[in-house]
């Protein structure tokens, strides 16, 4: 399973990077190979200042070694301190405020005698369009339903609870799916994780193509940067992947590549009533998007 998951995530990184470069049409990924002190390494790819994507990062890693004892106690499964982890993570930050940011992380882990899968993907629009949100969720639901009809409602709820900026009482975006500590039949779970990985581009790129040329001005750009500030707050305070990478002495540049290139923090910001920004704010809470589809 180590070999198969490592190969799948490596190939998925290749596929996603090719597709993102094709959509952008201007910029290309810079690639860094790195080795982790203690075992393993990875391949970080970052694209900046593209025609569509202001910053796009796609990481692949396969690392192993010994966990810090205090951090090992926080991991729910497995005994001992030895670990192995492989996976892919991506964050795509668009230039146009009408194109949403997307995040995904899919991983396979072992600790002692336990092994499990985790991950998910979520959408963070700045000016949401309901049809886009529905498309994103519908695509993920189809990937989940191919394996277990209980997966989507369970993982959608988990995502809503996880991607909550708790100190503000705001959702980071419009959710998606999130799962962790999935253990059981490794073959069935690996099939599920592969389908989620293959669904990422199907869920996101049609939205990019639809919104990439929509005109915008400085007001929309300023709002985008304020919402990016919220994104950065979540990643630095709550994100498990960030914490895991730093605690296991991962490569700092690769761990923090998910942060947006620019962001703003405006004191006590509140959108003015009856504006597109106020309407956008109504999306940033847990909602059943597919029930509202009609």
pLDDT, tens only, 68-111: 888 888 888 888 888 999 999 999 999 999 999 999 999 999 99
The single residue listed with the structure tokens 């970080």 is: 44
Residues 182, 188, 189: CA angle, nearest 5 degrees? 25
**Burial annotation 253-286 (CB, 10 A radius, 16+ → b, else e):** ebbebbbbeebeeeeeeeeeeeeebeebbebbee
Q: What is the pLDDT of residue 198?
A: 95
Active-site residues, by number, are 103
* Residues in the chain where the model's pLDDT stays below 70: 292-294
Q: List the one residue out of 248, 258, 196, 260 whose CA is nearest residue 59.
A: 258
Can you tell me the distance from the alpha carbon of 62 to that of 81, in angstroms, rounded to the nearest whole number?
17
Helical segments of 163-217, H only: 186-211
Backbone φ/ψ region at 281: left (φ over 0), alpha (ψ -120 to 50), beta: alpha
* Chain center to CA of 26: 23
Between the CA of residue 159 and those of 24, 67, 155, what are the distances in Å?
28, 26, 6
Residues 115, 118, 124: CA angle, nearest 5 degrees? 170
Between the CA of residue 281 and those of 130, 155, 270, what are the distances in Å?
13, 23, 9
Please state the domain extents for the chain: 2-281
The interaxial angle of helices 130-145 and 151-162, nearest 10 deg, is 130
Q: What is the pLDDT of residue 74?
A: 83
Per the document, the length of the chain is: 294
The CATH number given to 2-281 is 3.40.1500.10
Q: What is the pLDDT of residue 69?
A: 84
- Give the N- to C-terminal CA distance of the chain in Å, as an integer: 42
- 78 φ, ψ to 5°? 90, 155
Q: What is the pLDDT of residue 294?
A: 43
Helical segments of the chain, H only: 2-24, 69-72, 130-145, 151-162, 186-211, 218-237, 240-247, 252-255, 276-281
């Amino acid at each position: 399973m180590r070999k198969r998951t490592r190969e799948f995530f490596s190939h998925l990184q290749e596929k996603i990077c090719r597709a993102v470069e094709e959509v952008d049409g201007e910029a290309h990924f810079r690639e860094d190979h790195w080795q982790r002190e203690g075992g393993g390494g990875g391949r970080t790819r970052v694209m900046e200042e593209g025609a569509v994507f202001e910053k796009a990062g796609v990481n692949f890693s396969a690392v192993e070694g010994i966990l810090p004892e205090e951090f090992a106690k926080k991991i729910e499964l497995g005994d001992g301190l030895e670990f192995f982890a492989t996976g892919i993570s991506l964050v795509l930050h668009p230039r146009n405020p009408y194109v949403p940011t997307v995040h995904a992380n899919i991983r396979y882990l072992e600790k002692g005698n336990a092994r499990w899968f985790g991950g998910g993907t979520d959408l963070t629009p700045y000016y949401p369009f309901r049809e886009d949100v529905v498309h994103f969720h519908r695509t993920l639901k189809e990937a989940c339903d191919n394996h277990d009809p209980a997966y989507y409602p369970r993982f959608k709820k988990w995502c809503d609870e996880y991607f909550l900026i708790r100190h503000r009482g705001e959702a980071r975006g419009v959710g998606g799916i999130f799962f962790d500590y999935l253990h059981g039949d490794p073959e069935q779970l690996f099939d599920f994780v592969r389908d989620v990985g293959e669904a990422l581009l199907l869920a996101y790129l049609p939205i990019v193509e639809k919104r990439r040329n929509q005109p915008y001005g400085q007001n929309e750009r300023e709002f985008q940067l304020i919402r990016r500030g919220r994104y950065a707050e979540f990643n630095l305070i709550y994100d498990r992947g960030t914490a895991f990478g730093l605690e296991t002495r991962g490569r700092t540049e690769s761990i923090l590549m998910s942060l947006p290139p620019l962001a703003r923090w405006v004191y006590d910001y509140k959108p003015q009533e009856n504006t597109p920004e106020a309407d956008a704010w109504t999306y940033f809470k847990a909602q059943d998007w597919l029930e509202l589809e009609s």
